[in-house]
Structure 1
Amino acid sequence: METNGSLPPYEVLVAGPYFTDLVFHGLDRPVRPGTEVFADGFGLVPGGAYTPAMALHRLGRRVVWSADFGTDPFSAQVLSCARQEGLDEAAFRRHPFPVRSLTVALASDGDRAMVSFQDPVEPEPLVPLLRRFRPRVLLLPQLRWDEGTAAACRAARRLGTLVVMDCHDAPASLADPAVREVLALVDVFTPNDGEALRLTGADGLDEAVGLLSRLVPTLVVTRGARGATAVRDGERHDVPAARTAAGAAVVDATAAGDCFNAGLVHGLLGGWSLPDCLAAASVCGAAATTGPGSSAALRAPELDRLLGAATNMT
């Protein structure tokens, strides 16, 4: 792979904002207006696009993450964690004003509710980033359907870069031609089941899968405890959810989807079959639920061991 100057040959460009996740876990009941619920545990961990960037880095992939940081303590906390993890800072932008991004996650019974806040900041254009870093994969953690994203998807296609896009509860609909245009330019789309239903307006998941799989070459719909469904070239694969390691309790599902995507991209970069990619993704997603936020993201030897154990049990 050609590189510009002294830049290393990056495998993945992750483009998206950081978040600081304040995770309250072990709630014995949902939080309702007018009530107070005490949590069994609390974690203050980096999240947002930090999670797939960090998770892929832990899996041994060469990652560059495009993100904005400011003068606020949340930016400082995530930057500190990124440096501790050894993430490449080549695409970080630092601003002389606050760029606060935070989420409060309330985790109970393996699910969670979230409240978020973000200071507005215009993200760095993707096309120059693609030309600069020339990654094998562009990972977009949230569905974006602006013209800049469409242009980036077209540029990625010219460069031979695979575009993987999640949904992350974006307020989008297939009734919007701009949404359909962007999805038609994406190589792999990874909504969860609720997002697929809202995006398509379908009455059931099978209908939603059918509608989306006619737009994108590879569709992967995560279904929580029910596993995942993927469609490529008209062939459907349904895989069960991976179990957590023996004795590991589910603590927080906040980072499960992002770690699932990291495992999926890891497999795609390795040239694995789609079922094998899904198996790796499922193991990574399940492991992430055993710690607050993204703290339990796997490293490559752990993933290999868990995949081997799963193979031996079948």
Structure 2
Amino acid sequence: MTFQQVSEPYDAYDVLVVGGSGVDTIVPVGALPVPPADSHPVAPIREWAGHTGTGVALGCAALGLTTGFVDFIGDDPPGALVRERLAGTGVDFRPLVSPHGTRRAVNLVAPDGRRMSFYDGRDPLDLRMPPEHYLPVLRRTRHVHLSITHFARFLYDDIEALGLPVSTDLHDWDGLTDHHREFAFRSDLVFLSTAGAGERIGQVMREILRQGRARAVVATAGAGGAYLLTPDDRSPRPVPAAVPPGPVVDSNGAGDAFVCGFLHGLLAGRQLADCARLGAVAGAYACTSPGTHTALIGPEGLRGVVPEPATAAEPAGQSLRPTPP
């Protein structure tokens, strides 16, 4: 791997995103599941810079948050596509080049916007980001968002030593797969979808709170809205789905947009329930254009969704930090 020559980091970040860049190949299909056949004629297949880290970084920057992004990409055409997409967006992208190449995914998208993703997690288990690359920017951030790429788990000790709040997105975790556990139990704010756990989602959310350090868990349910659980709740609180501002054409990136809307509210000092409502609006907005991370809501799109905070915003994530012993 080699270091990239990049500019000095910003004086401070609102959000530092770690890991999760890549390229999505979007294949429009007539229905999901796809009927068995040797071949299917489809509409034009497109490639987009995507994946969860890219989406969170782009979405946070579009909402006016000063955003940093560190990750590995390849010295290859997909890596160039990621660089091109992030250029000029306000995201301070500070990549390292990995000889293993840029991550890929093939996403099948149905006419109703539902998708099925085939993810290429090509990073080897021994891949590590050198502390001299991430520590200078980690020390300058208010909030860290870790993608569940394997190398990112090795930043937790430094994040905790610096006393920084950290969020993560477990995506469709079933509550059982070992890969996700450390992310689930060492993060202050945990997002996941209901797709993996199904009817067990409430149990999985409670387990995250019971076994980990999280002060809030949010489960997104697509058109069904979302659920919020904190230590003060007896059961997950439903969060109503937001009405999209146009026809739903592609749900790629909706979960990432939800995270961005939530963090936008959190860093402005809003209550967690209001943050979840902002997330729902941002997620619905993302479903109204084809491709990945092509419809990014701005601050004006969230204005008036929830009341302005009554007092000045507290230091980022203060309400999410565990109570000191």
* TM-score, L = length of structure 2: 0.79
Which protein is richer in helix relative to its size? 1
The offset of 1:87, in angstroms, is: 2.0
1:242 aligns with 2:242: yes
Gap regions ≥5 residues in structure 1:
198-202, 310-314
Q: Which residue of 1 aligns with 2:256?
A: 258
> 1:1-314 maps to which residues of 2 (within 5 A)?
7-25=10-28, 27-28=30-31, 30-40=33-43, 42-48=45-51, 49-89=53-93, 91-95=94-98, 97=99, 99-108=101-110, 109-120=112-123, 122-125=127-130, 129-130=134-135, 132-134=137-139, 135-142=141-148, 149=153, 152-169=155-172, 173=176, 180=181, 182-196=183-197, 204-215=200-211, 216-235=214-233, 236-245=236-245, 248-291=246-289, 292-304=291-303, 307=305
Q: How has the CA–CA distance of structure 1 residues 308 and 38 changed in structure 2, closer, same or farther, with 3 Å as cutoff?
A: farther
Please give the alpha-carbon distance, in whole angstroms, between the structure 1 residues aligned to 2:32 and 2:223. 19
- AA of the residue aligned to 1:61: L
Q: Is the 8 Å Cα contact of residues 218 and 233 (structure 1) preserved in structure 2?
A: yes
Instruction: Give the superposition deviation at 1:153.
Output: 2.7
Provide the rounded CA distance (Å) in 2 between the counterparts of 1:47 and 1:123: 22
Q: Does the residue aligned with 1:11 lie in a helix, a strand or coil?
A: strand
- Looking at structure 1, the residues matched to 189 and 45 of structure 2 have their Cα atoms a distance apart, in angstroms, of 34
8 Å contact 2:148–2:183 — kept in the other structure? Answer: no
- CA shift, 1:110, in A, is 2.8
Contact map agreement 1:103 1:114 (CA 8 A) in 2:
yes
Q: Contact 1:261–1:281 (CA<8 Å) still a contact in 2? A: yes
Decide whether aligned partners of structure 1 residues 289 and 179 sit closer, same or farther in structure 2, where only a CA change above 3 A counts.
Answer: closer
Between the two proteins, the alignment pairs up a number of residues equal to 290
Once the 2 structures are TM-superposed, how far is the Cα of residue 179 of structure 1 from its aligned partner? 5.8
- Please, what is the CA RMSD of the aligned residues? 2.9
Letter aligned with residue 129 of structure 2: E
